[in-house]
């Protein structure tokens, strides 16, 4: 039996690769984006495709998209929270408005769409919710404080959501990709801090040059990640987390080793903090 997928941000970047892989597998797809004409043109025509307008920061859009999906296909089996953007810069140079916008796209957006989909999956007694996160949700990177804040929060929310919805037959998975050749680093998806604090001048210039030069040169192939998602969704059970890419595995293993070193270095001090109960 074919599945019905709903993918946010499906008209470009990684979301477009996900969309094409779903249709190629024979499954049905609700492809969403802020510009539905652009989404439709990018994906092409298919009898298994429904394109709907969805700005993930607007909960009313999410409700309307889910309603349209049910009217067309009758169910939603897999939700992929993919839509995201990147506010790059040092925290002191990012404006409060930029921080709010980063959280709105990368955290509140997935929450809005998931909130709209959950009643459907609960009624079905089944469903899979996948959120595309980042290695920046597991390691903090200089110049990425806003992005990491949004992705750390996304992971925490998803980990907490899993035991809440598991009794209804709903599974969740966090995907932590490394560097994949998507459109995240294009001028359309990356916004830089507008303020300039003189103490950061030299490092800011270096980081801007790095991120701009990295666009189109990332090692990961998003088409292969899309196929990996198809494989994982068709497994008997989703993994709670999928570390995507050899570079991501290397970074996460370094983080695990660092955490273990810090635990071992202060194990005695940490273990001595309980109350001394009186006899």
Q: Which of 147, 9, 155, 4 is CA-nearest to residue 88?
A: 147
Of residues 90, 147, 200, 266, which has the active-site annotation? 147
User: Which H or E run contains 173?
Assistant: strand 170-177
Distance CA 37, CA 245 (A): 32
| Annotated catalytic residue 266 | no
Distance CA 254, CA 135 (A): 12
User: Which H or E run contains 203?
Assistant: helix 201-214
With 0-12 CB in 10 A as exposed, 13-18 as middle and 19+ as buried, what is 254?
exposed
Q: Which of 173, 167, 157 is CA-nearest to residue 233?
A: 173
What is the Cβ-side half-sphere exposure of residue 192, based on CA atoms within 13 angstroms?
14
Q: Which of 91, 105, 87 is CA-nearest to residue 211?
A: 87
Identify whether the C-beta of residue 15 lies closer than 8 Å to the C-beta of residue 9: yes
Tokens of 252: 């996460």
With 0-12 CB in 10 A as exposed, 13-18 as middle and 19+ as buried, what is 229?
buried
Q: Please, what sign has the CA dihedral across residues 182, 8, 125, 68?
A: negative
Distance CA 104, CA 279 (A): 52
Residues involved in catalysis:
147
């Amino acid at each position: 039996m074919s599945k019905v997928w709903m993918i946010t941000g499906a008209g470009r970047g990684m979301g477009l690769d996900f969309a094409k892989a779903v249709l190629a597998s024979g499954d049905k797809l609700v492809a969403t984006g802020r510009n539905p004409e652009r989404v439709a043109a990018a994906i092409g025509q298919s009898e298994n495709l429904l394109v709907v307008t969805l700005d993930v920061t607007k909960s009313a859009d999410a409700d309307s998209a889910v309603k349209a999906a049910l009217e067309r296909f009758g169910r939603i089996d897999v939700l992929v929270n993919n839509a995201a953007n990147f506010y790059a810069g040092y925290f002191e140079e990012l404006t409060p408005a930029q921080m709010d916008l980063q959280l709105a796209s990368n955290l509140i957006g997935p929450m809005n769409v998931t909130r709209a989909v959950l009643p459907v999956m609960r009624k079905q007694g089944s469903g899979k919710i996948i959120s595309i996160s980042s290695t920046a949700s597991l390691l903090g990177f200089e110049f990425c404080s806003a992005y990491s804040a949004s992705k750390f929060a996304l992971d925490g929310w998803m980990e907490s959501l899993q035991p809440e919805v598991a009794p209804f037959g709903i599974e969740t998975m966090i995907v932590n990709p490394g560097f994949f050749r998507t459109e995240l680093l294009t001028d359309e998806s990356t916004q830089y801090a507008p303020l300039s604090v003189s103490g950061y001048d030299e490092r800011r210039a270096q980081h801007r040059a790095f991120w701009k030069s990295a666009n189109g040169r990332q090692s990961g192939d998003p088409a292969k990640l899309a196929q990996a998602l198809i494989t994982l969704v068709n497994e008997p059970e989703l993994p709670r987390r999928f570390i995507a890419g050899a570079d991501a595995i290397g970074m996460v293993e370094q983080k695990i080793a660092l955490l273990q070193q810090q635990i071992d270095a202060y194990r005695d001090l940490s273990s001595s903090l309980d109350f001394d109960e009186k006899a």
